[in-house]
Structure 1
Amino acid sequence: MIRACLLSVLSAVPRNFRLLEELERGEKGISDGTVSYGMDDVDDIYMRSWTGTIIGPPNTVHEGRIYQLKLFCDTDYPDKPPTVRFQTRINMTCVDQETGLVEPSLFPMLGKWQREYTMEDILTSLKKEMSAPQNRRLHQPHEGIFILIASVSNDDQRVDQKGKCVIM
């Protein structure tokens, strides 16, 4: 009953108010902390660019992995779904392996978008999709870490790059 009332209210809320509500909810933290989201650029007055994080669900090949995503809410959000793209490499049936784009035709929440859905719903649904039989055991790309370390000596004027990491 309460959810039905909330959905009724959300369907009438203007875009910016809706996004402010989502931002507030994202900043407070979501349920068990394995899914989070927030603004990608706090100076973006149109609130288009968002970042999300999903911690892989237990008892899957995703367990212990942290996945970063970008969500782009164009001016027609929430009437149209955001564009969702994994920044972290992942092998899932609904994700384009070359671009990380979540394919709306393969991910029902985006393909059959309803105005009441939120970014939290998308992230939670993607986490659930990781546990689905078709994804839970798929071989995952290796997480590569490159560490560049350069020695420093004030005598020979070299620059220190110690500890700089690039994650592929």
Structure 2
Amino acid sequence: MTMGSGGSSIVVPRNFRLLEELERGEKGIGDGTVSYGIDDGDDIYMRSWTGTIIGPHNSVHENRIYQLKLFCDKDYPDKPPSVRFHSRINITCVNHETGVVEPKKFGILAKWQRGYTMEDILVQLKKEMAAPPNRKLVQPPEGTFF
């Protein structure tokens, strides 16, 4: 969202917003432990995305690479994308059978705001991995998938 003169706000159209996110994802984020990009460059609606998180240090997730799928429906960014781990993981906000990040158990999805991005989701998931309830949970063997 951008402020215009006189305090009026301009809503950035969905596709422009997604193009901004794609550009940012392609440039690399922060320390490189979180990344994302579009699955199919021919998808003009930019719905299906892949995210990657390298597990945080000093946790059972350290040096593991987790792959996720994010799906931005037509209502994105007004509504959050659906998020599902492709790599098996054991953390409290993820359904153990499907890999779906359950919105009611994951704050950023439960209290979604239009200004949030896919990057925000991935960064918060990485923080969730390092949180006390999750940092020592027994994990599935590395390289297993839902």
Q: Could you state the TM-score of these two structures normalised by the residue count of structure 1?
A: 0.80
Quick one: structure 1 residues 131 and 33, their matched pair in 2 at CA, closer, same or farther if it must change by over 3 Å?
same
1:160 corresponds in structure 2 to none
Contact 1:11–1:116, Cα closer than 8 Å, also in 2: no
1:55 corresponds in structure 2 to 54
Quick one: structure 1 residues 11 and 63, their matched pair in 2 at CA, closer, same or farther if it must change by over 3 Å?
farther
Could you say what secondary structure the match of 2:67 adopts?
Answer: strand
Larger radius of gyration: 1
Are 1:34 and 2:61 an aligned pair? no
CA deviations 1:43-93 (Å, max 9, x no partner) are: 111000000000000000000100000000000000000000000000000
After TM superposition, the runs of 4+ consecutive aligned structure 1 residues lying more than 6 A away are none
Counting only pairs closer than 5 Å after superposition, residues 1-168 of structure 1 correspond to structure 2 as 8=2, 12-143=11-142, 168=145
Aligned length: 140
Consecutive unaligned residues of structure 1, counting only runs of 5 or more, are 1-6, 145-166
Q: Percent identity?
A: 75
Consecutive unaligned residues of structure 2, counting only runs of 5 or more, are 4-8
Superposed CA RMSD in Å reads 1.4
2:87 is aligned with what amino acid? T
Contact 2:64–2:142, Cα closer than 8 Å, also in 1: no
